[in-house]
Amino acid sequence: MGRITRRSFLETSGKTVAGLSGLAAFPMATARVLGTNERVNIALIGCGGRGRYVARGMAELGARVVYLCDLHPGQIDETAKFISKVQAEKPKTTKLMQKVFEDKSVDAVIVATPHHWHALPAILACQAGKDVYVEKPHCYCVWESQQMIKAARKYNRIMQAGTQNRSVPYIHKAIEYINSGKLGDIHLVKVFNLKPKRRVFELGNSSVPPDGFDWNAWLGAAPKRPYYQSIFENMKWKNFWDFSGGDFLDDGIHQVDIATMLMGNPGLPKGISAAGGRFHYTDDSEMPDLLEVCFRFDNFLMTVEHSCYPEYMRKTSGTIRRNDLLPYWTQNSTRIELYGTKEMMILGRTGGGWVSMVSGGKVVKKEYGRHPDVFHQKDFLESFKSRKLPNADVELVHTSCCMMHMANAAYRLGNITLSYDKANDKFIDNSQADKYLKRQYRQGFEVPEQV
Ligand SMILES: NC(=O)c1ccc[n+]([C@@H]2O[C@H](COP(=O)([O-])OP(=O)(O)OC[C@H]3O[C@@H](n4cnc5c(N)ncnc54)[C@H](O)[C@@H]3O)[C@@H](O)[C@H]2O)c1
C-alpha cells in the first residue's frame, strides 16, 4: 500500500473516528495457516441487512464470526442479535475497521458496506493478509476494480465478489448446455432489470446523526453533505451518484454478470450506447427510472433494459426458488434471454431456473433453480482452504461491474454512444467519459494508487 494514502486515510479518519491516530502500519500479509478441522475466523465490515445475512450464512457453514464492524452502533447491536441465533460465542465489536485488520486471529472479512465503501476496505484487508468476500457491485468505478485485482494478486488473497449466481448448479448446467452447441450461434443477449414499481423517494430534512454514528466516515470518499436519515436507511443511498450507480447497477449487475458468464466471460465490450431518463418519477432520486443500454462485443450484442415503475413486474418468488417451479417469464423482472440460431434460452436469476425453446414455444430442455447464496458462501470458504480462485473471483467479475459503470457514464453524458479502447483501458476520443473511470476521492479516503 502507498504510504501516503495509508497515512492520510488514518489521519483523516482519526479526526472523526476515535482511536485511529498514531496507528502503526498494518502488518503485511500474515495469514494464519489453518489445520484441517480449524474454523475460518470471519469479520464483518458493514453490518446492514445484507452483511449480517451473509455472516450468519458463513457461520452456519462452519465459520466463526469473530468481529463486527460498523460506524453505526445500532447496526452492530442488531447484527450481534442476529448472529447469536446461530453462534454462542459473541463477536468483538468496533467502529474502526483498522482494528479488524490488526487482529491476527481474523482470517477473512466480509465487506458489506455501501458501494462507495467497497474498494478501500477490500484492499486494506488484502494488505493485512485477510481474504475478502466483497459484496456486489464490488467497485464504485472501473479504476477501483483494477486496484482491487492488483491487491488480490499481489498479496495472494482470495477476493470473491457477492454475485452469488456464479456458484449455483442450475446456471452451471445452462453453461454446459450452451457449450454443447444446442443453441447454435448466439448473437443477441437481452438482459432485463424491469423492477416492480418502487416507492417515491423523498429526501426530507437534514438532521443530526444518531448518537455514536460517524456520518463523516460513512460519507468516505464522497463529498461532504449534511446527515439525512432518508439516505442512510433502507439502502436509499442508491438514489445518489456520490454513493452508487443506482438500482440499474445494484440489481442489474446480477443479471449482467450471469449473462457474461453464459457468454464465456468475453471481457469488456468495445462499445456502449445508452438511452434513458426520468420519465415517471419526479421525486428526489438522481437515478433514471428508465434506461436502455446496448453493449457491442465482437460477435454479439447485449441489451440491458432497466425500469422501476410497472406494477405487474415481479422478481422470482421464494416459492419458485424453493420448489420445482418456473417463473411466468414475460413478467419476470430479472431474466436473461439468449437468442441462438437454433434455440432460445430464458434464464431467471437467483433461483429462477431456465428453459430452452424452439419455435412454437416448445420447451426442449429445462432446469429448476435454487437460491445461490449457500453455494456461493461455501465456495468462498472452500477457496480459503484450497487457495484456488473462487467462482466470482474479482478479475472475473471485473467485466460485468465495469460494464454497468460504463453504461452509467454513457447515460450521464447525455445518452451517448461510447467506444472503449480495451488495450489502453480508456474511452476512445472522449476525455469527459474517461473522468467516470476513476472517481474524485475526498482527502483521507483515497483508494491507493500503489496497492
Ligand atoms: N448479493 C446480494 O444479493 C445482495 C443483496 C443485498 C445487498 N447487497 C449488497 O450488500 C451491500 C450492503 O447492503 P445493505 O443492504 O446491507 O446496506 P446498508 O446500507 O443497510 O448497510 C451497510 C452498512 O455499512 C455500514 N458502513 C458504511 N461505511 C462503513 C465503514 N466505513 N465502516 C464500517 N461500516 C460502514 C453502514 O453504517 C451500514 O450499517 C451493498 O453493496 C449491496 O448492494 C447484495
pLDDT tens for 301-359 read 999 999 999 999 999 999 999 999 999 999 999 999 999 999 999 999 999 999 999 99
Q: Return left, alpha or beta for 353; rule: phi > 0 is left, psi -120 to 50 is alpha, else beta.
A: left
Pocket test for ligand 1, best of 70, 214, 377 (most atoms within 8 A of CB): 70
Residue 12 belongs to a domain: yes
Let me know: does 329 contact 310? Beta carbons within 8 Å: no
pLDDT tens per residue across span 189-213 = 999 999 999 999 999 999 999 999 9
In a domain, 169, yes or no: no
Digit-coded pLDDT (tens) for 293-313? 999 999 999 999 999 999 999
- The finding on whether 291 has its CB within 6 A of some atom of ligand 1 is no
CA 248 – CA 245 distance, rounded (Å): 7
Is residue 342 in a domain? no
pLDDT, tens digit (0-9, with 9 covering 90-100), for 168-187: 999 999 999 999 999 999 99
pLDDT of residue 33: 72
Q: How confident is the model at residue 112 (pLDDT cuts 50, 70, 90)?
A: very high
- The span from the CA of 426 to the CA of 424, in Å, is 6
| pLDDT tens digits for range 252-302 | 999 999 999 999 999 999 999 999 999 999 999 999 999 999 999 999 999
Residue 136 Cβ contacting ligand 1 at under 6 Å: yes
What pLDDT is stored for residue 36 in this prediction?
A: 67
**Cβ–ligand 1 contact at 73 (below 6 Å):** no
CA–CA distance, 435 with 296 (Å, rounded to integer): 21
| Nearest-10 crossing angle of helices 252-262, 169-179 | 40
Does the CA dihedral 431-436-442-446 come out positive or negative? negative
Residue 356 lies in a domain: no
Strand partners, 42: 65, 108
Residue 35 in this model has a pLDDT that exceeds 80: no
pTM across the whole model: 0.94
Q: Residue 236 C-alpha to ligand 1 middle, in angstroms?
A: 11
Asked if residue 160 belongs to a domain, the reply is yes
CA of 283 to the centre of ligand 1 (A): 23
For 357-403, the pLDDT digits (tens) are 999 999 999 999 999 999 999 999 999 999 999 999 999 999 999 99
The residue-averaged pLDDT of 416-421 equals 98
Label residue 8 by pLDDT band (50, 70, 90): very low
pLDDT (0 to 100) of residue 232: 97
pLDDT of 54 higher than 60: yes
Task: Answer for the pair 74, 49: CB distance below 8 angstroms, yes or no.
Answer: no
Domain total in the chain:
1
Phi, psi (degrees; rounded to nearest 5) at 237: -60, -15
- Look at residue 71 and tell me if it is in a domain: yes
What is the per-residue pLDDT across 66-79, written as a single tens digit (0 to 9) for each? 999 999 999 999 99
User: Do the beta carbons of residue 192 and residue 333 sit within 8 Å?
Assistant: yes
With a cut of 60, say whether residue 5 has pLDDT above it.
no
The alpha carbon of 367 and the centre of ligand 1 are apart by a number of angstroms equal to: 32
Please compute the mean of the pLDDT values over residues 13-41 and round it to a whole number. Answer: 52
Check if 117 has its Cβ closer than 6 Å to any atom of ligand 1: yes
For residue 16, is pLDDT > 80?
Answer: no
Say if 344 falls within a structural domain. no
Whether 54 is in the pocket of ligand 1, judged by its Cβ within 6 Å, is: no
Q: Which atom of ligand 1 is nearest to the CA of 220?
A: 31
Q: How far is the CA of 136 from the centre of ligand 1 (A)?
A: 10
CA of 234 to the centre of ligand 1 (A): 10
Indicate if ligand 1 lies below 6 Å from the C-beta of 55: no
Binned at pLDDT 50, 70 and 90, residue 15 comes out as very low
How much is the average pLDDT of 78-97? 98
Domain membership of residue 288 (yes or no) is no
Q: How many residues comprise the chain?
A: 451
pLDDT at 38: 84
Instruction: Please give the mean pLDDT across all residues of the chain.
Output: 93
Domain that residue 114 falls in: 6-164+375-392
| Cell numbers given for 160 | 470473491
Ramachandran bin of 234, using left for φ above 0, alpha for ψ from -120 to 50, beta for the remaining angles: left
Domain harbouring 151, CATH code: 3.40.50.720
Q: How far is the CA of 6 from the centre of ligand 1 (A)?
A: 23
Q: Is 235 in the pocket of ligand 1 (CB under 6 A)?
A: yes
Q: 34 or 331: whose pLDDT is higher?
A: 331
- pLDDT given for residue 410 in this prediction: 98
Tell whether ligand 1 has an atom less than 6 A from the beta carbon of residue 161. Answer: no
